[in-house]
Structure 1
């Protein structure tokens, strides 16, 4: 298959998914992924097609394949890390979720979604202090609530050590 054909088939499948024809998109992407097993972008889009249908377990190998390959854009890599980490969490694979999401948050430190999902996975592993720290940092940095903004410095301070009382 040449690049032009691949690009056309991939674009058409993604369009189907975005227009709500999710099962048809999934079927087309499965065929494309079978024809191009080393294509990271195709694997990522195939994972996404499964994920939006609630087929998380089936999405995992495609997310893993996409991240193991090369050629993902920065935006797609970020999406694949978030997708895989959150999917692991939904499946109860909490330690793997933390590992993937922590790595994603390190690669993309300004991505609040990665840090939010990491906080949820940390909660699931019993790491409540770190989960709360992440959420408080996100709240302090991003809240538009005037009362939260007023206490931003205090919230950031206590986020570092919730046990501190002075």
Structure 2
């Protein structure tokens, strides 16, 4: 069962009536209920800034949350979100390193597929569209109702061409 604090945070994120700055203010108010160095609160504050287009502020908070330690799922989410933020700040090579590491570390499915999506975006930003297509198709293939084997094969073929 989720704790009350996290439920309130989730409710803020789910409230479509709030604009980005209202979300940031609400998340900051909830984060203030916890220790200043609470990694989960820092992660939530970073995400709110990221969503509001305040990437430079988000980067600092993501890095601090990761430094202090997060549970496995939030760790992956923080790495993906930080890498996406860094890519948006023009540091594509750093984002690629982070995303490649996270993608390769995770087991197939779930969060690996999320890492694959952002890894593919960073690869496109780096001018590596074929590699991006291979990574994205590899992640997509298991979710298709038909053609799983074919799409996986094409993803592998594209990947081999780039190797």
TM-score normalized with structure 2 length? 0.75
Instruction: Report Cα offsets for 1:122-152 as digits up to 9, x if no partner.
Output: 11112233211111212322123xxxx23x3
Residue in 2 aligned with 1:4? none
The aligned residue for residue 59 of structure 1 is 58
Q: Is the 8 A contact 1:25 1:49 kept in 2?
A: no
**Structure 2 CA distance for aligned equivalents of residues 15 and 136 of structure 1:** 31
* Aligned positions, number: 149
Q: Report what 1:114 is aligned to.
A: 115
Shift of 1:107: 2.9
Distance 1:89 1:126 in 2: 13
In the alignment, is residue 14 of structure 1 matched against residue 42 of structure 2? Answer: no
Q: Deviations over 1:101-140 (max 9, x none)?
A: 1222123232211101101101111223321111121232
Match of 1:139 in 2: 140
Change (3 A) 1:32 1:83: farther
Match of 2:88 in 1: 90
2: CA distance between counterparts of 1:66 and 1:101? 17
1:17-76 Cα distance to aligned partner (Å, 9 max, x none): 33434132244367568x523x32221111012122221221001111111122x12221
Deviates more, 1:104-113 or 1:46-55: 104-113
When the two structures are superposed, what TM-score results if normalisation uses the length of structure 1?
A: 0.74
> Equivalent residue of 2:40, what SS?
helix
Q: Select which of 136, 149, 156 maps to 2:152.
A: 156
Residue deviations 1:73-95, cap 9 Å, x none? 22211211121111112222211
Question: C-alpha distance in 2, partners of 1:94/1:29?
Answer: 32
- Larger-Rg structure: 1
* 8 Å Cα contact 2:9-2:27 kept in structure 1: no
